[in-house]
């Protein structure tokens, strides 16, 4: 219909008074009066208010027909108006309905009614301003992870999703029927393959799904999550923590500078994010247990930290905090024992502040063949399942470290969300695999 080029709405909002422009998008809000109709149109870049007046009969009729979420093309002139969102309004000359929407199931009252309903219609809720803002922050988070690792000389690699052994313990493995030939699982972590790859590339990273058969429903567990993992030859725990710190600071500062508008729309307190600067406090596991006991937790040395404990610990800090030196039995078999205290490991978790808790797990790996074999047996595992992994210790073994960052938990914290499901476009948990 329209001979002039379509503009992004964000671009249209900065047009001159009286300028003729065309936009296209979806009807976000509609208010009807006797002689005028206001349509707020949204596209991926923003929203603009359009006014159709009765004196333009044809455009007015189309505006009357246009339902919420109909896709439309609009042409008209820009008028500055401080009352309109974005400070200007589009006076409609022509309006074309491209796809007339049936009555949209997500109404204002439905949004308040139940989040289960919004999960059932996630394929439609995705269009909301809230989800759009979260997805834009998520995009910035993923891009800044790539930028960071590239700038530090890491190669991006890809690991398989079908695997034959557990990385993080058998309890949360998803079994897959693989032609009835042998037991195959969905990967819990790409770590072991990254460990292979450091023998050619030295520093590697990947961003990929990981799968955990998490049977409990919590605010921070998904069955399928996006895992950013890195592994580096010759790196020790101290260097690893510095790398993690720099990564998190890079991501947060990029989001703060590029996504201020989205964080505002989400009602995020950005002051809390502005405090995220190196160095992060480091707390020994032993001290963490003492603090928790003082706070009245019924916890003993040797117990793992759950979400309540992590929440309580992070409340004392404004920045993310490292907890290092977990006891052997709290961590998977591959963690290297501390030579000066073999009952603890050279491991560290990074906990996000404001109660969010663990976003990163990592540490030094066992590089000695015999120590690794002993650990595998001690954990009740079968060395046969780890043959190729053991080979890495047979052929030019090297000290090395790595970590895994849960990107969905990171987005949850950065956006200040109540539930991890909001941080992912199509969340999967024990109850949800649709849409």
167 binds ligand 4AD (CB under 6 A): yes
> Shortest approach of ligand 4AD to residue 297 CB, angstroms?
21
Q: Considering beta carbons, is residue 25 or 427 the nearer one to ligand 4AD?
A: 427
Buried b (16+ CB within 10 A) or exposed e, 204-232: bbbbbebbbebeeeeebbbbbbbbbbbbb
Q: Which listed option, Mg ion, ligand 4AD, none, makes contact with residue 359 (CB within 5 to 8 Å by class)?
A: ligand 4AD
The SS3 call for residue 270 is helix
| Contacts of ligand 4AD in 347-376 (CB under 6 A) | 358-362
11-to-5, 24, 30, 48, 78 alpha-carbon distances in Å: 12, 12, 22, 10, 12
Q: Which listed option, Mg ion, ligand 4AD, none, makes contact with residue 403 (CB within 5 to 8 Å by class)?
A: ligand 4AD
The answer to whether 390 and 383 have CB atoms below 8 angstroms apart is yes
Write down the residue that tokens 């030019």 correspond to.
396
387-394 and 191-201 are packed helices; what angle lies between their axes, rounded to 10 degrees? 30
Burial zone of 180 (CB within 10 Å; 0-12 exposed, 13-18 middle, 19+ buried): exposed
The SS3 call for residue 312 is helix
Vertex 382: Cα angle to 340 and 390 (nearest 5): 60
Q: Which listed option, Mg ion, ligand 4AD, none, makes contact with residue 221 (CB within 5 to 8 Å by class)?
A: ligand 4AD
> Shortest approach of Mg ion to residue 361 CB, angstroms?
3
* CA–CA dist 252, 270 (Å, integer): 10
362 binds Mg ion (CB under 5 A): no
The answer to whether 101 and 9 have CB atoms below 8 angstroms apart is no
> Shortest approach of ligand 4AD to residue 194 CB, angstroms?
7
Q: Considering beta carbons, is residue 25 or 404 the nearer one to ligand 4AD?
A: 404
Q: Considering beta carbons, is residue 312 or 360 the nearer one to ligand 4AD?
A: 360
Please pick, from the candidates 48, 406, 414, 424, the single residue that binds ligand 4AD as defined by CB under 6 A: 406
* CA–CA dist 94, 96 (Å, integer): 7
Write down the residue that tokens 């205290």 correspond to.
341
> Shortest approach of ligand 4AD to residue 228 CB, angstroms?
9
Q: Which listed option, ligand 4AD, Mg ion, none, makes contact with residue 225 (CB within 5 to 8 Å by class)?
A: ligand 4AD
Size of the site for Mg ion (CB under 5 A): 1
> Shortest approach of ligand 4AD to residue 324 CB, angstroms?
14
319 binds ligand 4AD (CB under 6 A): no
> Shortest approach of ligand 4AD to residue 435 CB, angstroms?
19
Q: Considering beta carbons, is residue 49 or 187 the nearer one to Mg ion?
A: 187
Q: Considering beta carbons, is residue 9 or 305 the nearer one to ligand 4AD?
A: 305
| Contacts of ligand 4AD in 198-257 (CB under 6 A) | 212, 214, 221-222, 225, 227, 229
CB atoms under 10 Å from CB of 251, counted, come to: 25
Token duo for residue 136 = 């834009």
* 6-7/347-352 β-pairing: unpaired
* CA–CA dist 61, 72 (Å, integer): 13
361 binds Mg ion (CB under 5 A): yes
Token duo for residue 105 = 């199931």
408 binds ligand 4AD (CB under 6 A): yes
> Shortest approach of ligand 4AD to residue 333 CB, angstroms?
11
* 357-364/46-53 β-pairing: unpaired
Whether the bond into 383 is cis, omega within 30 of 0: no
Size of the site for ligand 4AD (CB under 6 A): 22
Please pick, from the candidates 168, 244, 310, 328, the single residue that binds ligand 4AD as defined by CB under 6 A: 168
| Contacts of Mg ion in 129-158 (CB under 5 A) | none
> Shortest approach of ligand 4AD to residue 72 CB, angstroms?
39
Q: What is the DSSP letter of 302?
A: T
Buried b (16+ CB within 10 A) or exposed e, 125-150: beeeebbbbbbbbbebbbebbeebbe
Q: Which listed option, Mg ion, ligand 4AD, none, makes contact with residue 402 (CB within 5 to 8 Å by class)?
A: ligand 4AD
| Contacts of ligand 4AD in 93-152 (CB under 6 A) | none
Residue number closest to ligand 4AD, CB atom? 406
> Shortest approach of ligand 4AD to residue 429 CB, angstroms?
9
The residues that touch Mg ion, with contacts defined as CB under 5 A, are 361
Residues making contact with ligand 4AD (CB under 6 A): 167-168, 189, 191, 212, 214, 221-222, 225, 227, 229, 358-362, 402-404, 406, 408-409
């Amino acid at each position: 219909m329209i001979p002039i080029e379509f503009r992004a709405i964000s671009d249209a909002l900065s047009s001159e008074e009286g300028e003729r422009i065309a936009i296209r998008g979806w009807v976000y809000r509609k208010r009807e009066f006797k002689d005028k109709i206001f349509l707020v149109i949204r596209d991926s870049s923003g929203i603009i208010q359009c006014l159709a007046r009765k004196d333009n009969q044809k455009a007015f009729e189309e505006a009357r027909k246009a339902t919420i979420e109909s896709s439309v093309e609009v042409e008209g002139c820009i008028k500055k108006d401080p009352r309109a969102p974005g400070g200007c309004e589009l006076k409609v000359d022509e309006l074309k309905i491209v796809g007339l929407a049936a009555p949209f199931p997500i109404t204002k009252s439905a949004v308040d009614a139940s989040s289960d309903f919004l999960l059932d219609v996630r394929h439609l809720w995705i269009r909301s301003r809230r989800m759009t803002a979260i997805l834009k922050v998520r995009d910035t988070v993923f891009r800044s992870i790539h930028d960071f690792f590239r700038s530090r000389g890491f190669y991006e690699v890809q690991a398989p999703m079908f695997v034959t052994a557990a990385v993080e313990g058998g309890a949360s493995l998803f079994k897959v029927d693989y032609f009835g030939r042998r037991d195959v699982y969905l990967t819990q972590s790409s770590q072991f393959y990254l460990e292979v790859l450091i023998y050619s590339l030295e520093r590697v990273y990947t961003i990929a799904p990981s799968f955990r058969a998490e049977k409990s429903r919590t605010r921070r567990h998904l069955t399928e999550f996006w895992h950013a993992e890195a592994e580096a030859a010759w790196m020790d725990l101290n260097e690893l923590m510095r790398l993690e710190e720099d990564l998190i600071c890079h991501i947060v500062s990029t989001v703060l500078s590029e996504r201020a508008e989205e964080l505002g729309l989400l009602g995020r307190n950005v002051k809390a994010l502005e405090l995220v600067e190196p160095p992060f406090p480091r707390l020994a596991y032993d001290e963490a247990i003492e603090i928790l006991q003082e706070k009245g937790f019924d916890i003993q040395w040797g117990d793992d930290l759950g979400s309540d404990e992590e929440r309580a610990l992070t409340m004392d800090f404004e920045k993310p905090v490292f907890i290092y030196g977990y006891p052997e039995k709290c961590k998977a078999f591959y963690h290297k024992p501390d030579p000066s205290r073999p009952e603890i490991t050279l491991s560290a978790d990074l906990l996000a502040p404001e109660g969010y808790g663990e976003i990163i797990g990592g540490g030094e790996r066992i590089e000695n063949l015999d120590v690794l074999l002993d650990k595998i047996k001690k954990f009740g595992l079968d060395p046969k399942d780890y043959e190729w992994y053991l080979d890495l210790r047979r052929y030019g073994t090297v000290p090395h470290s790595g970590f895994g960052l849960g990107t969905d938990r990171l987005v949850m914290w950065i956006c200040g969300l109540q539930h991890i499901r909001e941080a992912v476009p199509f969340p999967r948990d024990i109850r949800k695999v649709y849409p």
